[in-house]
Amino acid sequence: MFNVYEFFNRINEVRPESRLDAGQPDIPVRREIIEEAVESLRRGETGYTSTGGIRELRERIAEFEGVSTDEVIVAPGAKILIAAEIASAKKVAVVSPHWNAYSLIAQQFGRELEVIKTTLEERWTPRVEEIKADLLIINYPNNPTGRVLSGKELRGLLEVAEENGVKVLSDEVYAELTFTRFTPARELYENVVTVKGFSKLYSMTGFRLGYAIGERNEIRRIRRFIESTVTCVPPFVQRAGVKALELREELIKEVRRVYLERARMASKMLRGFDFVEPEGAFYIFLRTPQNGMAFAERLLSRGVAVFPGVAFGDYPNFIRISLSGRGLKRGLRVIREELECALESRATEGWEGSSRGVSAEGSR
Ligand code: PLP
């Protein structure tokens, strides 16, 4: 299995000028948040906390999520909460292309993976009639495609989950970064655990702060997993989280606007090539005229880092471009040049088709 973290380490060694690879937001963490963490440390808040998170943070989260406090659990990042869910399942279904960590975690726990493949031609919309797994992972806004399902599309998928008695893990870490109407899965189906975090909207990746929302028994079960593995989130990180939530509305407006502008700019610069214009998050999943890994290597040799499509499942002819890294404009220019160059050399080699023929570009 392709390990994206190994490729990431190699990128770090090469030190490319344009970092369009990882989902590490380049917008700095707000000063107030950092100061709150420092103040908390100075106050001596350095010990263990309650394993589910400090009450104040859970209360704030519950308030804006419209749930009760005991339906919320706080943990060191969204990823460990995803692991808690995967650990509790026998077989896991995932809509693909998908974030690499789902398969890596499933592998760690020895869980079988049922892949629900989607295609660019169908604008990455899942069409499924039966799910054999007992846990379905969905992720909208999607990493890597930038798709957000419409309410109707989401309802269709959740109905299949319900018919098959499948629990849904809805990874909504990009929920606030949407450029279209977004429906949280739990509004449409009862058997949903929602996972969110502070890594994307607040750029707080290194703080390691995430939370899950679910039915009380489910939260209790996740809590046991957290207790028996990572214990709790450091108190000063949770304090920083409380501060971040005070800035939530302001940041949603500000950060969403930044990523929307970048998505528009990137879509314009890549016009004529095959991808779905992002409806949320900060990625573009682009079809490449040649093997995506070879294309990613070629770009790396020109100082542009992206991830190959194989990092997201069986998508060998794609790359993922992150719009959250440094050197974006330059990187996009190089990508366009390389796309044109690859197409040209294919044409001179007498290749019949054209990847431009099935363009989904600009479709929303
Ligand atoms: N879920 C998805 C879809 C992601 O893309 C990422 C980070 O890239 C995460 C979860 C990780 O969130 P956290 O940093 O809270 O563990």
Q: Cα–Cα–Cα angle for 201, 203, 204, nearest 5°?
A: 115
**SS3 state of residue 354:** coil
Query: 31-247 has which fold?
Result: Aspartate Aminotransferase; domain 2 (3.40.640)
Domain ranges of the chain: 11-27+250-348+357-362, 31-247
For 53, 87, 97, 167, 223, the CA distances from 218, given in Å and listed in that order, are: 16, 13, 27, 11, 9
Atom of ligand 1 at shortest range from CA of 210: 15
In the chain, which ranges are continuous DSSP H helix? Answer: 4-14, 31-42, 55-65, 78-88, 100-108, 151-163, 216-228, 235-246, 248-269, 292-301, 328-348
How far does the centroid of ligand 1 lie from the alpha carbon of residue 30, in Å? 20
- In testing the pocket of ligand 1, which one of 4, 21, 26, 79 has its CB within 8 Å of the most ligand atoms? 79
pLDDT at 345: 84
Of residues 123, 169, 168, the one with CA closest to residue 277: 123
Pocket flag, ligand 1, residue 96 (CB < 6 Å): no
Q: CA–CA separation, 113 vs 107, rounded Å?
A: 9
- In testing the pocket of ligand 1, which one of 5, 199, 209 has its CB within 8 Å of the most ligand atoms? 199
Same topology between domain 11-27+250-348+357-362 and domain 31-247: no
For 44, 258, 354, 363, the CA distances from 293, given in Å and listed in that order, are: 48, 29, 19, 26
149: Cβ–Cβ under 8 A, 6 or more apart, which residues? 125, 126, 140, 157, 183
Pocket flag, ligand 1, residue 197 (CB < 6 Å): yes
- In testing the pocket of ligand 1, which one of 20, 200, 204 has its CB within 8 Å of the most ligand atoms? 200
Task: Tell me which DSSP letter residue 89 carries.
Answer: -
347-362: b (≥16 Cβ within 10 Å) or e: eeeeeeeebeeebbbe
Averaged pLDDT in 10-residue chunks for the chain of 364 residues: 80 95 95 98 96 96 97 98 98 97 96 97 97 98 98 98 98 98 97 98 98 98 97 98 98 98 98 97 96 95 97 97 96 97 80 43 41
- Residue 138 · residue 95 · CB < 8 Å: yes
End-to-end C-alpha distance for the chain, whole angstroms: 32
Pocket flag, ligand 1, residue 105 (CB < 6 Å): no
Question: The tokens of 239 are what?
Answer: 């304090």
- Residue 18 · residue 326 · CB < 8 Å: yes
- Residue 120 · residue 360 · CB < 8 Å: yes
Q: Cα–Cα–Cα angle for 25, 31, 34, nearest 5°?
A: 85
Predicted TM-score (pTM) of this structure: 0.94
How far does the centroid of ligand 1 lie from the alpha carbon of residue 226, in Å? 17
Answer whether the bond into residue 16 is a cis peptide, omega within 30°: no
Query: 11-27+250-348+357-362 has which fold?
Result: Aspartate Aminotransferase, domain 1 (3.90.1150)
Task: Tell me which DSSP letter residue 315 carries.
Answer: -
Phi/psi of residue 237, each to 5°? -70, -40
Q: CA–CA separation, 257 vs 255, rounded Å?
A: 5
The number of helices, as runs of H, and strands, as runs of E, in the chain is 11, 12
**SS3 state of residue 142:** coil
Can you spell out the DSSP letters for 109-140? TT-EEEEEE--TTTTT----S---SSEEEE-S
Pocket flag, ligand 1, residue 88 (CB < 6 Å): no
Strand partners, 287: 318
Tokens 């509305």 -> residue: 249
- Residue 191 · residue 168 · CB < 8 Å: yes
Pocket flag, ligand 1, residue 312 (CB < 6 Å): no
Pocket flag, ligand 1, residue 77 (CB < 6 Å): yes
Q: Cα–Cα–Cα angle for 233, 50, 37, nearest 5°?
A: 40
